Structure 1
Amino acid sequence: MTLPGTLRLFVNGEIVSAQGYEYDNLYVHFFVELPNQWSSPAFQQLSGVTQTCATKALGWENVAYFSYPFTLELFFTQGAESEESLPQWPVLYFEVLSLDFWQRYRVEGYGSLVLPASPGVHNLTIPTWRPVELGAVAELRRFFIGGSPELEDITYVRTPSTFKGERLSRFGFRTETTGSVTFRLYCLQQSKAFLEASAKRQCMQSVLDQLGGFSRQSSVYSVLEAFQRARRRMQEARESLPQDLISTSASTVHQLQEP
């Protein structure tokens, strides 16, 4: 059971496939960055590497099917300073690399995804990019020797963790769009706040039901009162008529009823 003010997040994830990359024999390296107020158990691994997978032609693209499973257990504890602000969610950073027969590896793309804030099943396809150098020499080096420009800090895919300024400039940083990676995430959230909210909803529902019962009873009473008022008005109107008119109308009705 989680402590009060704590959110427990389970993620059963799967790196399904990678598609649209230039070279074969792909593998994915990934890790999870935890923002402030987030923590994980001591046994929890926050990084991993998939197996190397050969691609398969599927339509116009080459697809590598990894089906690599991973599990995350994370905790968010709300502090006094974060009560008025929305919490930041953990980010999964990953890079796609290729390895050829001569053991030459190349960076095929970088990407990131924010773990979903809602529970359930999420199928996400994340596009990737890689840094490039201008000129034919860089492409020849990449083809014959292997290797390519790499990021010193993979968190540069988003806002680097070491950046403390207000504006981040990427002017002059050249990139190239590459393929994409497909993830399947099964997210489960556990918190006492959910139980309290459910209890409040049930209490509110019972109050609404009672109010609904009262409203139905009051509507029946109002109909009966309206009928009684109409009946009294008819009796008063009958009593205010002259007696000879009442007797004449009564005799007329009696004659009409005779055969």
Structure 2
Amino acid sequence: MAEVHIIGQILKAVDFAEPHLYCKWSLQSGNAWRLVQGEVQGQSHVASHRLQSSSDFAQPLDIHLSTASVQGWPRLLVEVYAVNVLQQSWPVGYGFVHVPSTPGTHRLEIGTWKVAPNGLWQSLRERFGGGGAALSKTDLLYSGVERYKLQTLSSGKVIVELNLIFRKFDEYGVEFK
């Protein structure tokens, strides 16, 4: 079977209004893909920024996958959460990116969005640290079936660095140019 090694890190979140953030991540792929080694989901520590609009996570990724088909190519999903002094957390950004289909080093910026407040009360609650609206199903992140019904706002970006190693794809007739 062909293999993909994903080695890298979720570096940081930039341009978010909230000062205390953490990131949940997961790697989604099609049915032909199998996990050989590593973790396909995780969570970073809480990172704070005071003077700059950047929260550094440096969350390592080390995933080894095998596949017999390029269908269902992997994608990295991120959910950024804010935390207040009462240790309450709420989502402030959702986003995803497909893992690049070429070997080598890649620096990716994942643009994120959040569910827009639908009234004055929810807007005030979000502004003063009580939390914002959350998605009940995370598959809305990458499938456009129901996402068009949501009202959303842009939030910050998540910066990811990935080093990709591909093995045995030539045996399955896949060439990278």
- TM-score normalised by length of structure 2: 0.89
Is 1:50 the counterpart of 2:44? The answer is yes
From 124, 127, 149, the equivalent of 1:140 is 124
Give the equivalent residue in structure 2 for 1:90. Answer: 74
From 4, 22, 27, the equivalent of 1:9 is 4
Quote the offset at 1:17 in angstroms. 0.9
The separation in 1 between residues aligned to 2:98 and 2:174, in whole angstroms, is 26
Quote the offset at 1:135 in angstroms. 2.2
Which entry has the higher C-alpha Rg, 1 or 2?
1
Q: Which runs of 5+ in 2 are unaligned?
A: none
Is 1:25 the counterpart of 2:48? The answer is no
SS at structure 2 position matched to 1:155: helix
Quote the offset at 1:133 in angstroms. 2.5
Higher strand share: 2
From 64, 76, 90, the equivalent of 1:73 is 64
The separation in 1 between residues aligned to 2:172 and 2:116, in whole angstroms, is 51
The separation in 1 between residues aligned to 2:117 and 2:169, in whole angstroms, is 52
On the 8 A contact 2:2/2:172 being kept in 1, the answer is no
For 1:163-206, what per-residue CA distance to the aligned partner results, in whole angstroms no more than 9, with x for missing partners?
Answer: xxxxx2544410000100000000000106269999xxxxxxxx
For 1:210-238, what per-residue CA distance to the aligned partner results, in whole angstroms no more than 9, with x for missing partners?
Answer: xxxxxxxxxxxxxxxxxxxxxxxxxxxxx
For 1:141-174, what per-residue CA distance to the aligned partner results, in whole angstroms no more than 9, with x for missing partners?
Answer: 22345222111121211117xxxxxxx2544410
SS at structure 1 position matched to 2:100: coil
Is 1:150 the counterpart of 2:130? The answer is no
From 54, 59, 62, the equivalent of 1:63 is 54
SS at structure 2 position matched to 1:32: strand
The separation in 2 between residues aligned to 1:28 and 1:197, in whole angstroms, is 34
- TM-score normalised by length of structure 1: 0.62
The separation in 2 between residues aligned to 1:121 and 1:72, in whole angstroms, is 15
SS at structure 2 position matched to 1:40: strand
Give the equivalent residue in structure 1 for 2:111. Answer: 127
Give the equivalent residue in structure 2 for 1:208. Answer: none
Cα gap change, 1:155 to 1:144, in 2 (>3 Å): same
Aligned positions of 1:164-183 closer than 5 A: 168-183=145-160
The separation in 1 between residues aligned to 2:172 and 2:149, in whole angstroms, is 51
On the 8 A contact 1:93/1:155 being kept in 2, the answer is no
The percentage of aligned residue pairs carrying the same residue is 23
Give the equivalent residue in structure 2 for 1:190. Answer: 167
Q: Which runs of 5+ in 1 are unaligned?
A: 1-5, 79-85, 161-167, 199-259
Quote the offset at 1:16 in angstroms. 0.8
Cα gap change, 1:125 to 1:192, in 2 (>3 Å): closer
Which protein, 1 or 2, shows the higher relative CO under an 8 Å CA cutoff with sep ≥ 6?
2
Cα gap change, 1:182 to 1:196, in 2 (>3 Å): closer
The separation in 2 between residues aligned to 1:122 and 1:156, in whole angstroms, is 26
The separation in 1 between residues aligned to 2:173 and 2:74, in whole angstroms, is 25
SS at structure 1 position matched to 2:125: helix
Cα gap change, 1:117 to 1:141, in 2 (>3 Å): same
Superposition RMSD in Å: 2.3
